[in-house]
Chains A and B, each alone.
Chain A
């Protein structure tokens, strides 16, 4: 069903613009607003000045399990959970606001924001579907993104116990570790 209220529509356009500015893929906008595909496409071109990227969204949960992405995803999801508990908002607004706070924090620490807004949105969906969850690390008590079947009693996060090859990359803005 298409939106009837002009006010609702205005809010949805505003939300779509924010998402496009954050770099969201068109599929995110289609799923989170009632605006038609044609209007979203026009809006996308108007806001970003280019056509949206084509192709499927990344659909696997594996990306979130590798060392660096897991740390970024965990930071985002902790902020998301915080906002979810502290403030009453619509789901997509929680994602937007948590993502903005995540961007601020990575920027303040001179890191490349590895997690795109599309991936952040996917992550929240994965958690809603029970495909991913937050598990408490038995060493630092921080909450980290894991598969739901992770053994909670023995779980140690990637920051307390980095894998042997972690932090060896030379990319700018990447995390590095000297062992």
Chain B
């Protein structure tokens, strides 16, 4: 990818992320904290953004959201390499329990 294209795609991803985050927070703030894995303070900052501000912070060379599965165990469970379809459901449920237990990320 050329630099221009990279920047354009990062901006696109950032914009859709920010717009989704805003609408999730507006439709149900408390559940949005769980879905997005952010703190109440961050949620306040995101809702206060105007469209112009959103455009501005979305343009840059880095992404605004971060990968949340940076843990070997959850990663193995979610991708479940070499597992049968039946065990895969169990693995995904296991991963959901582990992910839901991480409230320190929102604190």
Interface of A toward B, CB cutoff 8 Å: 71, 74-75, 78-79, 81-83, 85-89, 93-94, 97, 100-101, 105, 109-111, 140-144, 159, 167, 175-178
B31 contacts A by Cβ under 8 Å: yes
The dominant DSSP class at the B interface is: helix
Kindly supply a per-residue 1/0 record for chain B positions 58-102, scoring 1 wherever the CB is within 8 Å of any chain A CB and 0 otherwise: 000000000000000100000000001011011011101110111
Instruction: Given contacts A75-B100, A82-B100, A86-B30, list 5 more A-B pairs with CB under 8 A.
Output: A100-B31, A111-B93, A140-B98, A141-B98, A159-B94
Would you list the 8 A-B pairs with minimal beta carbon distance, nearest first?
Answer: A78-B100, A87-B30, A86-B106, A85-B103, A86-B33, A176-B86, A82-B103, A159-B94
Partner of A89, one of B30, B35, B97: B30
Q: Is B34 in contact with A109, judged by CB distance below 8 angstroms? A: no
Q: Is A177 in contact with B87, judged by CB distance below 8 angstroms? A: yes
Residues of A within 8 A of B34 (CB): 79, 82-83, 86, 101
Chain A residue at smallest Cβ distance from B29: A87
Residues of B within 8 A of A78 (CB): 97, 100-101
Chain A residue at smallest Cβ distance from B36: A86
Residues of B within 8 A of A177 (CB): 86-87, 90
Interface of B toward A, CB cutoff 8 Å: 28-31, 33-35, 39-40, 73, 84, 86-87, 89-90, 92-94, 96-98, 100-103, 106-107
Q: Is B100 in contact with A87, judged by CB distance below 8 angstroms? A: no
Q: Is A140 in contact with B87, judged by CB distance below 8 angstroms? A: no
Residues of B within 8 A of A71 (CB): 93, 97
C-alpha spacing A89/B30, complex, angstroms: 8
Q: Is B96 in contact with A178, judged by CB distance below 8 angstroms? A: no
C-alpha spacing A84/B28, complex, angstroms: 15
C-alpha spacing A94/B84, complex, angstroms: 36
Given contact pairs A81-B103, A86-B34, A175-B89, A142 touches B97 in the complex (Cβ within 8 A): yes
C-alpha spacing A178/B106, complex, angstroms: 36
Residues of A within 8 A of B40 (CB): 86-88
Chain B residue at smallest Cβ distance from A174: B89
Q: Is A74 in contact with B97, judged by CB distance below 8 angstroms? A: yes
C-alpha spacing A178/B89, complex, angstroms: 11
CB distance from A26 to the nearest CB of B (A): 26
Interface centre among B31, B33, B39, B101 (most CB of A within 10 A): B101
